[in-house]
Amino acid sequence: MAIPIITADQALNVSAIITYIYADPGLGKTSLGFTGDNAVSFDFDRGAHRTGELRRGAVVPVQQWSDVANLTPQDLAPFNTIVIDTVGAMLESIKTHLLLTANNRQKDGALKLKAQGLANQTFKQYVNTLLSLGKDVVFIAHASEDQNGDQVIYRPDLGGKNRNELYRIADIMGYMTTVTTGEGKNARVISFKPSPTHHAKNSGALGGEAGEVWVPDLKEHPAFLAELIASAKQHINTLTPAQLAQIKASEELENWKQSCSEAEHAGDLNQLTESLQLLVESKHMYAESMRQLMLLKAQELNCKYNKESSKWMNPPEFNAITDAQRDELQAFIDERGLDTKTVCEHLGIDALTQIDAAQFTAVKTDIDNLAKESI
On whether both 223 and 349 belong to a single domain, the answer is no
**Confidence at residue 347, expressed as pLDDT on a 0 to 100 scale:** 85
- Same domain flag for 332 and 227: no
Phi, psi of 246 (to 5 degrees): -65, -45
Q: Is residue 246 part of a domain?
A: no
Model confidence pLDDT, tens digit, residues 306-338: 988 889 998 877 788 888 899 999 999 999 888
> H helices of 4-143, where?
29-33, 66-69, 73-76, 87-99, 113-132
Within this chain, do residues 217 and 337 fall inside the same structural domain, yes or no?
A: no
Residue 263 included in any domain: no
360 is a domain residue: yes
What's the pLDDT at 159? 73
Segments forming the whole domain that contains residue 98: 18-238
Residue of 162, 244, 151 lying closest to 197 (CA atoms): 151
Of 217, 238, 259, the position where a domain reaches its end is: 238
Verify that 90 and 189 share a domain, yes or no.
yes
Give the DSSP per-residue string, 223-253. THHHHHHHHHHHHHTTS-HHHHHHHHHHHHH
Q: What is the pLDDT of residues 295-306, one digit of tens each?
A: 999 999 989 999
User: Cα separation of 317 and 308, whole Å?
Assistant: 21
Q: Which of 238, 273, 307 is the last residue of a domain?
A: 238
Residue 3 lies in a domain: no
With respect to residue 62, please indicate whether it lies within any of the assigned structural domains: yes
State which of 179, 205, 238 marks the end of a domain: 238
Residue 39, SS3?
strand
In terms of domains, do 343 and 199 share one?
no
Whichever domain contains 171, its CATH number is 3.40.50
What percentage of residues in the chain have a pLDDT greater than 70? 94
Looking at the fold, whether 223 and 328 belong to one and the same domain comes out as: no
Same domain, 228 and 359: no
List pLDDT tens digits, range 188-213.
999 999 888 888 999 999 999 899 99
Query: pTM score > 0.85 for this model?
Result: no
Averaged pLDDT, 262-280: 88
Tally of domains within the chain: 2
The verdict on 232 and 348 lying in the same domain is no
